[in-house]
């Protein structure tokens, strides 16, 4: 959203000023769960430090390919991390050639919604939502690009947008980046506003590790990791594989699970990105034991 993006730029500038000051003048902001990042690291026998250099070659555009990037890079007002485009392209191609419906949370200066509106198949509908009323200028009804003004933290507003334009094939959250907003938007939109088989992408999840964006101790990354456990809810209280094996006397015909557990087909993590896919149809998994 525009005002959050502008706030982000101010925070980045402030961080640069702080970095130039003498050590000790400002407290170091760190992930609110001290030591948590070392829990996995300590499992490795040799936890060596690896330096990460700047982009090589010096022109970072040389490493970014695809129709989306080519259009976006010529669109005024764009702001993206360049490594996002690899996943964008994968999503873009997975949507196919039929018209789709897309919702983007956060319009900012219009670069992203215009990119998707231009590149998605003809007849597609792109809807952007933002708090900033000036974002309405990017609406182009003739091209099926719509902008609605409201907060991603307002469930009634989200419901009204979904009723007007949904359900959506693809939802992209590039909004406030506040942890509660990320979680609440997902819980309201993923179950009801996303089509079966649809994809829901949350980007800039690195902000979960910056205190300025954490309005709760429980981050969206924490929430996403918990949803991995939720995907495996059918296995709880079932002691072994025989409960899912073909033709076995133990095989279950039905298992009661939370609704969200039956919706989650896939959760993919990348640097600063979490992509969820919704099941088209969900059935109990089947184990098969082949005879020797």
Active site residues: 177
Q: Are 264 and 275 in contact (CB under 8 A)?
A: no
- Chain-centroid distance of CA 127 in Å reads 17
How deeply is 107 buried, as exposed, middle or buried, from its count of CB atoms within 10 A (0-12, 13-18, 19+)?
buried
Angle at 219 between CA 86 and CA 277, to 5 degrees: 45
Angle at 128 between CA 93 and CA 172, to 5 degrees: 45
Q: Give the whole-angstrom CA distance, residue 245 versus residue 290.
A: 11
Q: Give the whole-angstrom CA distance, residue 76 versus residue 232.
A: 44
């Amino acid at each position: 959203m525009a005002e959050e993006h502008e706030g982000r730029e101010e925070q980045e500038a402030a961080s640069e000023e702080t970095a130039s000051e003498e050590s000790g003048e400002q407290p170091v902001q760190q992930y609110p769960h001290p030591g948590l990042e070392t829990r996995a690291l300590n499992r490795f026998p040799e936890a060596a430090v690896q330096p990460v250099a700047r982009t090589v070659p010096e022109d970072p555009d040389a490493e970014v390919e695809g129709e989306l990037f080519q259009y976006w890079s010529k669109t005024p007002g764009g702001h993206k991390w360049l490594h996002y485009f690899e996943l964008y392209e994968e999503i873009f191609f997975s949507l196919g050639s039929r018209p789709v419906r897309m919702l983007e949370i956060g319009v900012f200066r219009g670069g992203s919604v215009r990119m998707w509106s231009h590149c998605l198949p003809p007849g597609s509908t792109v809807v952007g939502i933002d708090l900033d009323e000036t974002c309405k200028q990017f609406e182009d009804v003739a091209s099926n690009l719509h902008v609605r003004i409201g907060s991603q933290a307002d469930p009634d507003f989200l419901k009204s947008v979904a009723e007007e334009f949904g359900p959506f094939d693809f939802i992209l959250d590039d909004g406030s980046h506040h942890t509660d907003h990320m979680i609440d938007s997902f819980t309201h939109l993923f179950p009801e506003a996303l089509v079966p088989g649809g994809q829901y992408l949350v980007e800039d999840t690195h902000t979960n590790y910056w205190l300025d964006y954490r309005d709760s101790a429980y981050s969206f990354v924490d929430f996403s990791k918990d949803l991995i456990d939720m995907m495996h809810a059918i296995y709880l209280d079932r002691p072994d594989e025989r409960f899912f094996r073909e033709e076995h006397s133990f095989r279950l015909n039905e298992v009661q699970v939370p609704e969200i557990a039956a919706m989650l087909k896939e959760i993919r993590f990348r640097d600063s990105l979490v992509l969820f896919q919704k099941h088209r149809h969900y059935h109990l998994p089947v184990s098969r034991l082949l005879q020797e």
